[in-house]
Amino acid sequence: MSADSTTLAFDTSCKIFVDGGCGFQAPGLHSFVFEPLFTVGGFEFNKPMLLALLSTLVLGAFFWKAFAKPKVVPGKLQMVAEAGYDFVRKGIVYETLGKKEGEKWVPILVSIFFFVWMMNLWSIIPLAQFPVTSIIAFPAGLAIMVWLIWMTLTFKRHGFVGGLKNLTGYNKELGAVLPLVMVIEFFSNVLVRPFTHAVRLFANMFAGHLLLVMFTVATYFFMNGLGWVYAPVAFVLVCVMIAFELFIQAVQAYVFVTLSATYISGALEEAH
């Protein structure tokens, strides 16, 4: 059973509590697989890619409209945009990097925050109904970008030897356990951190979307016979999951950018 342009890939003729009915068709990995919208030279462009592109266009249009002609007394759109910008700048970047070091990193971290948030939000937007970050390639791409910034900044700031000390947690006061600590810190920083950075976002959005799809499908399947007793319960759970997802979507964008700022801060710190 292949997925179509929606994430609810199931047999709509199948119902529970009717003669010849069938069992509940739980969502699975097929809910995250999409037929290509079009193919160009072997390159397949599908729905998640379209939503990622739309995220860029929507955010670009929003901030352009908000700040194209800024006013001393801001209008509603400018006020909302400034509030979001200041939240990331003061609440994340300044708190993690400090005002002096952090100011230069505000543009990219603000961009990442709203890009991740927008890709998450598609999960509860009608017709889209899919969080782009539940496809591992998208959070992995962002995590790799942050990792490259982190590595480049580390060696640019400290040089090759100093950069290695920074990444390995070199501290001669550790004595005999220093070699072990350096190996653990190296693998943690160079290999584990970018992996967990991507998987944390991916896993939360993957699981959240799977639960949302499950209760949505359950509502549909119960809408017949005795199932009408249970359908309202499933529908209430759908509403609860949507509200919960709205919270998680914002939290995951916040966590992703906070970790990004933390890694950049670590690159700027002096090795022991």
Query: Which tens digit of pLDDT belongs to each residue from 170-225?
Result: 888 878 888 898 899 899 888 899 999 999 999 999 999 998 988 888 887 777 76
Examine residue 257 and state whether it is found in any structural domain, yes or no. yes
The reply to whether 199 falls in a domain is yes
pLDDT at 21 over 80: no
Full residue range of the structural domain in which residue 202 is found: 29-268
Whether residue 14 lies inside any domain: the answer is no
Whether the pLDDT of residue 4 is over 70: the answer is no
Which amino acid would we find at residue 61?
Answer: A
Q: What is the mean pLDDT of the chain?
A: 86
Q: CB neighbours of 36 closer than 8 A, spacing ≥ 6?
A: 44, 45, 46
Alpha helices in 27-136 (DSSP H): 47-67, 76-88, 95-97, 99-102, 106-121
Q: Is residue 8 part of a domain?
A: no
Residue 106 lies in a domain: yes
| pTM for the predicted model, two decimal places | 0.87
Residue 1: per-residue pLDDT: 37
pLDDT of residue 30: 80
Mean pLDDT of 228-249: 88
Alpha helices, H only, 95-230: 95-97, 99-102, 106-121, 137-168, 178-187, 193-221
| 5 in any annotated domain | no
Q: Which of 6-10, 39-43, 59-63 has the weakest average pLDDT? A: 6-10
Question: Would you say residue 6 lies in a domain?
Answer: no
Residue 50: pLDDT band (50, 70, 90) is: very high
The answer to whether residue 18 sits within a structural domain is: no
Three-state SS at 40 = strand
Q: 7 pLDDT exceeds 80?
A: no
pLDDT grade, residue 19 (50/70/90)?
A: low
pLDDT of residue 219: 82
The whole-number pLDDT of residue 17 equals 60
The residue among 191 and 11 whose pLDDT is bigger is 191
Domain count, the chain: 1
Q: How large a percentage of the chain has pLDDT more than 70?
A: 88
The number of angstroms, rounded, from the C-alpha of 237 to the middle of its chain's C-alpha atoms is 23
pLDDT at residue 271, rounded to an integer: 56
Query: What is the per-residue pLDDT across 108-143, written as a single tens digit (0 to 9) for each?
Result: 999 999 999 999 999 999 889 999 999 999 999 999
Give the range among 16-25, 55-64, 108-117 with minimum mean pLDDT: 16-25
Cβ contact 271:189 at 8 Å: no
End-to-end CA distance of the chain: 57
Integer Cα distance of 215 and 223 in angstroms: 13
Q: 13: Cβ–Cβ under 8 A, 6 or more apart, which residues?
A: none
pLDDT greater at residue 16 or residue 156: 156
